[in-house]
Amino acid sequence: MMKNKPDEEDYWNSSKFKAFTFDDEDDEFSRLKESKQAVNSIRSLVEEEDDEDEVEKVSWSGEPVGSISWSVRETAASNQKTQREHAFPKINASSPSVSRSHSGYSLSSLFKGDDWSPEETIHRMQQGKVVSLERFRSLQDKLLLLDFSVRAHDGNIITAVILFTLTSIIRVLFRELESRQTALRHFIHYLTEIRDHRLLLELLSKRRDFLKSCLNLPFSPEESAHVQDHYTLLERQIIIEATDRLAEHAGKVEIFQKFPRRASILNMPLITTLYYCCFYHYNEPEGTYSSPLNIRHTFRISEKQYFVTVLAARAKLKAWSDLDALFTSRNWLGFTKKKSPLSFHRVVDILQKNSAPTQVLQEYVGLVDDADLRIGLAQKHKCHDIVINTYRDLKDRQLLLGYRGKVERGSAEERKINDLLDSPVRKRRNYDHHHHYQHVT
Amino acid sequence: MAHSGRRDSPELPDFSLLKRLARDQLIYLLEQLPGKKDLFIEADLMSPLDRIANVSTLKQHEVDKLYKVEYKPIISTSDQVCFLIRPRIQTVKWICDVANADKAAGKFRRYKIIFTPQKFYACEAVLEEQGLFGDVTTDEWAFYLLPLDDDIISLELPEFFRDNFLAGDQRWVRTVGSALHLLHSIYGPFSKIYGIGRCAKMAYESWKEQVEEGDTKARQAEIGNAFLIDRDVDYITPLCSQVVYEGLVDDIFRIKCGCVEFGHDVTSSDKSVKVMLNSQDKVFSEIRNEHFSNVFSFLSQKARNLQTAYDKRRGMDIKQMKTFVSEELKGLKQEHRLLSLHIGACESIMKKKTKQDFQELLKTEHSLLEGFEIRECISFIEEHINRQVSMIESLRLLCLLSITENGLLPKDFRALKAQYLQSYGVDHLLTFANLRQLGLLVEQQPGETLTVMESKVGKLVNDKTAGKLTDAFSSLAKKSHFRALSRKLNLVPKSDEEYDLRVPRDMAYIFSGAYIPLSCKLIEQVLERDSWTGLEEVTKLLNGHEFAFTGSNGADLRAKSDAQRIILVMFLGGCTFSEISALRFLGRERGYKFIVVTTAITNSSRLIEALLGNKV
Give the residue with greater pLDDT, B362 vs A130: B362
pLDDT of residue A80: 44
For residue B422, is pLDDT > 70?
Answer: yes
Place A139 in a pLDDT band, splitting at 50, 70 and 90.
confident
CA atoms within 13 A on the CB side of B343: 14
Neighbours of B83 (CB within 10 A): 24
pLDDT of residue A355: 83
Of B122, B137, B386, nearest to A163 by CB-CB distance is B122
Q: How far apart are CA B292 and CA B245, in angstroms?
A: 5
What are the CA-CA distances from residue B605 to residues A124, B101, B565, B601 (Å)? Answer: 40, 39, 33, 11
For residue A83, is pLDDT > 50?
Answer: no
Give the residue with greater pLDDT, A284 vs B321: A284
B57 and chain A in contact, CB less than 8 A: no
Q: How far apart are CA A156 and CA A179, in angstroms?
A: 20
Angle at A283 between CA A281 and CA A286, to 5 degrees: 90
User: How many contacts (CB atoms, under 8 Å) link A and B?
Assistant: 239
DSSP A300: T
For residue B368, is pLDDT > 90?
Answer: yes
B287 burial level (CB within 10 Å; 0-12, 13-18, 19+)? buried
Using only C-alpha atoms, chain B has a radius of gyration, in whole angstroms, of 26
A103 burial level (CB within 10 Å; 0-12, 13-18, 19+)? buried
| φ, ψ of residue B113 in degrees (nearest 5) | -105, 125
B426 and chain A in contact, CB less than 8 A: yes
Residues of B in contact with A106 (CB under 8 A): 128
Q: How far does the CA of residue B109 sit from the closest CA of chain A (Å)?
A: 7
Start-to-end CA distance of chain B, whole Å, equals 47
Of A126, A164, A342, nearest to B383 by CB-CB distance is A342
Place A22 in a pLDDT band, splitting at 50, 70 and 90.
very low
Region of poorest pLDDT, from A33-47, A245-259, B248-262: A33-47
Which residues, other chains included, contact B529 with Cβ-Cβ below 8 Å and sequence gap of 6+? B535
Total-model pTM: 0.78
What average pLDDT is seen over chain B?
A: 85
Place B552 in a pLDDT band, splitting at 50, 70 and 90.
low
- Summarised one tens digit per residue, pLDDT across range B13-47 is 889 999 999 999 999 999 888 888 889 999 999 89
- Summarised one tens digit per residue, pLDDT across range A303-356 is 889 999 999 999 988 888 888 888 887 766 767 788 888 888 888 888 888 888
Percentage of residues of chain B with pLDDT beyond 90: 44
ipTM: 0.77
Place B217 in a pLDDT band, splitting at 50, 70 and 90.
low
Q: How far apart are CA A214 and CA B434, in angstroms?
A: 9
Give the residue with greater pLDDT, B469 vs A418: A418
Residues of A in contact with B103 (CB under 8 A): 91-92
Q: How far does the CA of residue A178 sit from the closest CA of chain B (Å)?
A: 10
Using only C-alpha atoms, chain A has a radius of gyration, in whole angstroms, of 39
Q: How far does the CA of residue B591 sit from the closest CA of chain A (Å)?
A: 36
Q: How far apart are CA B345 and CA B268, in angstroms?
A: 10
Give the residue with greater pLDDT, A44 vs B415: B415
Structural domains in chain B, sorted by start = 15-143 (3.40.50.2060), 144-234+494-615 (3.40.50.1910), 245-355 (3.90.830.10), 359-405+407-478 (1.25.40.850)
- Summarised one tens digit per residue, pLDDT across range A56-73 is 333 333 333 333 333 334
Q: How far apart are CA B578 and CA B241, in angstroms?
A: 9
What are the CA-CA distances from residue A205 to residues A200, A202, A215 (Å)? Answer: 9, 5, 12
pLDDT of residue A114: 60
Start-to-end CA distance of chain A, whole Å, equals 85
pLDDT of residue A257: 87
pLDDT of residue B244: 94
Q: Which of residues 40-59 of A touch B (CB under 8 A)?
A: 41-42, 45, 48, 51-52, 55-56, 58-59
For residue B516, is pLDDT > 90?
Answer: yes
Q: How far apart are CA B372 and CA B369, in angstroms?
A: 8
What average pLDDT is seen over chain A?
A: 69
pLDDT of residue A206: 55
User: Which of A3, A26, A189 has the highest number of chain B CBs within 10 A, making it the mutation to test binding with B?
Assistant: A189
Give the residue with greater pLDDT, B339 vs A22: B339
Place B598 in a pLDDT band, splitting at 50, 70 and 90.
very high
What are the CA-CA distances from residue B267 to residues A383, B250, B352, B560, B583 (Å)? Answer: 36, 17, 15, 50, 31
What are the CA-CA distances from residue B141 to residues A104, B22, B113, B174, B185 (Å)? Answer: 18, 8, 10, 15, 18
Place A87 in a pLDDT band, splitting at 50, 70 and 90.
very low
Which residue(s) pair with B110 in the sheet?
A: B80
Strand B225-230: give its sheet, edge to edge: B146-149, B152-154, B593-598, B566-572, B225-230, B192-196, B546-550
Residues of B in contact with A30 (CB under 8 A): 77
Of A34, A194, A305, nearest to B89 by CB-CB distance is A194
- At residue A13, the 3 state secondary structure works out as helix
Q: Which of residues 241-300 of B touch A (CB under 8 A)?
A: 274
A189 and chain B in contact, CB less than 8 A: yes
Angle at B372 between CA B366 and CA B373, to 5 degrees: 105
Place A204 in a pLDDT band, splitting at 50, 70 and 90.
low
A230 and chain B in contact, CB less than 8 A: yes
For residue A51, is pLDDT > 80?
Answer: no
Q: H-type helices in A209-368, by residue range? A: 209-212, 221-250, 254-258, 270-280, 292-298, 303-316, 320-327, 344-353, 358-365
pLDDT of residue A286: 87
- What own/partner pairs with CB < 8 Å and gap ≥ 24 does A98-101 have? A98/B133, A98/B134, A98/B135, A99/B127, A99/B128, A99/B131, A99/B132, A99/B133, A99/B134, A99/B135, A100/B133, A101/A73, A101/A76, A101/A77, A101/B134
DSSP A429: P
Percentage of residues of chain A with pLDDT beyond 70: 63
